[in-house]
A and B are shown apart, each in its own frame.
Chain A
Amino acid sequence: MFSEGYVEADGFRIRYMEAGQGAPLVHFHGAGGLRLTPAHDLLARHFRVVAFEMPGFGQSPENSRTRSMPELASTMAQAVKNLDLDTFNLMGTSFGGKTALWLALQAPERVLALVLEAPAAIRQEGAESPSGSPEEIARRLYAHPERLAAIPAPDPAIRAKTQPLVQRLRGPDRDADLESRLPSLATPTLVLFGTRDSVIAPAMGRVYKDLMPGCHLVFVYDAGHGISTDRPEAFAEVVADFLERHEAFVISRTETVIHP
């Protein structure tokens, strides 16, 4: 269902996967690179989903040029613009959550709403990225790796290529520059954490709420760091509802009539 495309921005040739119709939903992946999950399919039923592979990740050439997260955000904003998307919903996963936050800070008028899946922008002290064997990495990322269809093992060559970029861009556990700007960000924002996230402590969620006026925090039960992989239906339902209704998503529409 997803089709591949490329777009130029800041001298990078950037790959993206696209599916669906409706309001645009742009997605930035985590430090492991772009991998489509069942949640992308579910969201593509409601939105025109455009999932980017950010420069330096996946099959793209090594990116030794981008110096900082704000710079990457600016490149990605340009890439979105070059797809003729002036305004859009923006979703960022983990590392990509920080990219998404910076983009929203740089161009708030373009971002209709922001979804941060287990964002890595604010981390507990000493937070460590998953590492080791593919099995060890899967155990860090997912609450129930045993329930998942085989996930392709991370390619060591790609990991070696992206690690320096991730290290350079991820910033400190607590990024004072970023955090000082968040109180001015009025964009409707949904922050999601899995209750079993062992990469970023779910308790970090409350910091976003402390700092951002339009922030909603949702815990996805029994999901690890990869929420959209562990519990795609639960993830996609609340994301779609939030993007459709923003803060009014707190009003239930669940019907409870058993027999009319």
Chain B
Amino acid sequence: MKVSFFETARYCAPQTLPSEWPVPSGAYDRDAGARAYRGMIERLEYVEELGFDWVSVSEHHYSPRILTPAPIVSASYIAARLQKIKIALLGPIVPQSNPVRVAEELAMLDTLAQGRLVVGLLRGTTNEYLTYDLNPAEARERTDEGMELILRAWTEPQPFGWQGRHFQYRTVSIWPRPLQQPHPPTYALGTSRESCEFAARNHLGCGVSYGSFEAVGKATRYYREQCARHGWQPAPEQIIYRANMLLAETDEEAQALLREQPNQRPFSMRPGVSAALMKLDSRNIAGEARAPIVSGALPTTFIGSPDTIVEQVRRCRDVVGAGVLDLSLHPPGSGDLEPLMCALELFGKKVLPRIRDI
């Protein structure tokens, strides 16, 4: 099992913030922001030292919860400051991006990071449709087309035009190309039938997140079936599972941590907006309808003492088939860094060495 640390830049707000998304920009504290980014590098140096394989960053907007609206910037900064760890950009929200620009930036970063880049491409969480005025009805199609264009821009040696449904370019011919050939390890992120099929058709990995092992296991099973249909078999490393983990010395302590957590939706919105988005945003797990992520708090699927967690990781490997765990130790936005550092140390010393062979 490989292990990735999900880095969210841990902004510690000096005062209580409104919980509704978007969080007013005026409530941002510049000093707290500067501390968050400084702390990010200190933390990641330790993460690297502990032997994590990857550090991952994601794209979220208008909120202190995950302070990386431009993940290419944080990924580049991290790549420059750390030497060995792989940088997993999971990832650009494709439907609201310029796919050619994404291809250029990722190729450049892969080269700057000397081939340490891992890429995840995705549709994005429901709230992000509001960030740049993306019509939810078009999001799925724009994602599929954008991902295909990114792959083509990385691999086509001759200048080409792109006559798409949502994107049109007369001239694409990127410099630099990725250092890793034909392109960095790339994952389609999501549990949907469409995402799994896209990954299988294009020989990409598949990344799932937050659901129970059984729920996301349906998606990864469907993904493997689709790969077989296209005549190939993904390696374990081609399945990423991102999850929350609460780790403590004992099970009791870990359960106490869970009880202390605010049971909060990650991106809570006005009820009228949330309800309207829910109607427009159809999501599924391998074809079975599921609620969009705006609807509830994210579950914690790894919880307990090191012994318990090792067993849970074993079960995850069996049920989900994941070969990479992308872990959020203590939920982002919780603000309290001390328990996070303790959990990191505990994980690095008492869990990581025992899950390598799983």
Contact = CB atoms under 8 A, between A and B. Distances in A.
Main secondary structure of the interface of B (DSSP, over half): mixed
Contact of A250 (B145, B148, B163, B171): B171
A210 B152 CA distance: 17
A219 B158 contact: no
Interface in B130-163: 145, 148-149, 152, 156-163
Contact of B163 (A205, A235, A251, A252): A235
Interface in A205-260: 205-206, 209-210, 216-222, 231, 234-235, 237-238, 249-252, 254
B149 to A, nearest CB: 7
Given A221-B145, A250-B170, A238 B158 contact: no
B160 A205 contact: yes
Contact of B158 (A210, A221, A254): A210
A217 B161 contact: yes
Interface residues of A, number: 23
A195 interface: yes
A222 B158 contact: no
Interface string A59-101: 0000000000000000000000000000000000000000000
B126 to A, nearest CB: 25
A195 B148 contact: yes
Contact of A209 (B145, B158, B167, B168): B158
B299 interface: no
A246 to B, nearest CB: 12
B287 interface: no
B279 interface: no
Given A209-B159, A238-B161, A238-B163, A219 B152 contact: yes
A205 B167 CA distance: 20
A221 B170 contact: no
B162 A219 contact: yes
Contacts of B170: 218, 249-252
A192 B163 CA distance: 9
Nearest to A217: B160
A206 B173 CA distance: 12
Contacts of B156: 206
Q: How large is the interface on B (under 10, 10 to 19, 20 to 34, 35 or more residues)?
A: 10 to 19
A218 B159 contact: no
A253 B148 CA distance: 25
Nearest to B145: A221
A205 B159 CA distance: 11
Nearest to A216: B161
Given A195-B148, A195-B152, A210-B158, A237 B171 contact: no
A222 B171 CA distance: 18
A206 B158 contact: yes
A221 B159 CA distance: 16
Given A221-B145, A250-B171, A206 B161 contact: no
B163 A220 contact: yes
B161 A219 contact: yes
B160 A219 contact: yes
Contacts of A209: 158-159
B270 interface: no
Interface in B164-188: 164-165, 167-168, 170-171
B163 A221 contact: yes
Contacts of A250: 161, 170-171
A221 B160 CA distance: 12
Most buried by A among B159, B161, B162: B161
A219 B157 CA distance: 13
A217 B165 contact: no
Interface in B93-146: 145
B142 to A, nearest CB: 11
A249 B164 CA distance: 16
Contacts of B149: 221
Interface in A163-204: 192, 195
8 contacts: A195-B148, A220-B163, A221-B148, A221-B149, A221-B162, A221-B163, A221-B165, A231-B163
Given A217-B159, A217-B161, A219-B160, 17 more contacts: A192-B163, A195-B148, A206-B156, A217-B158, A218-B160, A218-B162, A218-B170, A219-B162, A221-B163, A222-B165, A234-B164, A234-B165, A249-B170, A250-B170, A250-B171, A251-B170, A254-B168
Interface of B: 145, 148-149, 152, 156-165, 167-168, 170-171
Task: Enumerate the 4 nearest inter-chain pairs by beta-carbon distance, A residue then B residue, closest first.
Answer: A218-B161, A221-B164, A250-B170, A206-B158
Interface of A: 192, 195, 205-206, 209-210, 216-222, 231, 234-235, 237-238, 249-252, 254
